[in-house]
């Protein structure tokens, strides 16, 4: 029987004791677990140690840079990158191990199911998908301040593996994240020319709402899907409103 590629699971953390146990339990079969912590004061480090993880600490350098630093700490060529509030079910292990027997691509996208306040998104709504399993010699983080992603030097496949993303547990947390992310995204937006900025402030929130709520099917999740779509639209407004504010301050 062919031997599969050895796998390093890589996770970045900061005070994630509430979700880290589920995250690491689902990948306890991996050859190595690497946790890069930003100075947690809760039980995060103890939970990681319980699963035999190699725990490293460095100040938070930004989402993309922190994840790249964690990837660089891995011992094995193939990496599974997870957020600390994500988890995999028991069926995922077999599918990942099968893909690692004879990898045909530089990396693979996995699907992600979102927790929406008090329920999981509908099974009939569209799942997001991200590159999470990859050959780290042919991959690099994008460098974006937010919405960072793995960029591949080579072909990309898709695996029938679903990540459960627990995310923010309530509306307040989701709104706080939208405010924080929209501020952080200013750096990326300011690097390029954004045309028709005032028109974007007026129209894009509606477009973002309809795309999230109707096209992606989150209307199937009832009021949880409606509220999530409204916050998503608010985030779309905030990032352009803050860019407009920045430009006006520079002009004045």
Strands 119-120 and 128-135: unpaired
C-alpha torsion sign, points 30, 31, 34, 35:
positive
Q: How far apart are CA 198 and CA 203, in angstroms?
A: 9
User: Could you give the residue ranges of the DSSP H alpha helices within 115-194?
Assistant: 171-184, 186-190
For residue 185 the two structure tokens come to 């995204």
For residue 38 the two structure tokens come to 């930003």
What average pLDDT does this structure show over 53-62? 97
Spatial CA neighbour of 61 closest among 127, 2, 167, 148? 148
Q: Any idea what DSSP says for residue 30?
A: S
Q: How far apart are CA 63 and CA 167, in angstroms?
A: 15
pLDDT at residue number 90: 85
Confidence of residue 210 (pLDDT cuts 50, 70, 90): very high
pLDDT at residue number 26: 96
Average pLDDT over the chain, rounded to an integer: 95
pLDDT at residue number 187: 83
pLDDT at residue number 98: 96
Spatial CA neighbour of 71 closest among 6, 139, 5? 139
What average pLDDT does this structure show over 218-235? 98
108-156: per-residue pLDDT in tens? 999 999 999 999 999 999 999 999 999 999 999 999 988 999 999 999 9
What average pLDDT does this structure show over 183-189? 88
Residue 4 to residues 83, 96, 100, 108, 146: CA-CA distances in angstroms? 24, 10, 5, 16, 33
Q: How far apart are CA 160 and CA 110, in angstroms?
A: 7
Confidence of residue 202 (pLDDT cuts 50, 70, 90): very high
- pTM for the structure as a whole: 0.94
In angstroms, the first-to-last Cα distance of the chain is: 70
């Amino acid at each position: 029987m062919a031997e599969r590629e050895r796998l390093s699971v890589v996770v970045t953390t900061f005070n994630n004791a509430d979700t880290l146990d589920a995250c690491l339990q689902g990948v306890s079969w991996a050859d190595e677990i690497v946790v890069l912590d930003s100075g947690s004061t809760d039980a995060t480090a103890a939970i990681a140690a319980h699963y035999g993880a190699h725990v490293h600490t460095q100040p938070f350098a930004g989402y993309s840079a922190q994840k790249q630093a964690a990837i660089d700490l891995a011992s094995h060529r193939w990496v599974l990158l997870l957020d600390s509030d994500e988890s995999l079910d028991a069926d995922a292990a077999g599918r990942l191990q099968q893909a690692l027997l004879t990898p045909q691509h530089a990396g693979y996208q996995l699907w992600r199911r979102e927790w929406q306040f008090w329920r999981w998104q509908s099974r009939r709504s569209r799942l997001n998908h991200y590159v999470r399993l990859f050959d780290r010699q042919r991959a690099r983080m994008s460098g974006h301040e937010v919405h960072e992603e793995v960029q591949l030097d080579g072909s990309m496949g898709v695996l029938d593996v679903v990540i459960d993303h627990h995310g923010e547990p309530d509306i307040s947390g989701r709104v706080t994240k939208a405010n924080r992310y929209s501020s952080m995204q200013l750096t990326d937006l300011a690097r390029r020319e954004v045309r028709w900025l005032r028109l974007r402030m007026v129209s894009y929130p509606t477009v973002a709402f309809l795309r999230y709520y109707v096209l992606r099917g989150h209307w199937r999740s009832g009021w949880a899907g409606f509220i999530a779509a409204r916050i998503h639209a608010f985030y779309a407004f905030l990032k352009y409103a803050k860019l407009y504010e920045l430009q006006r301050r520079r002009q004045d």
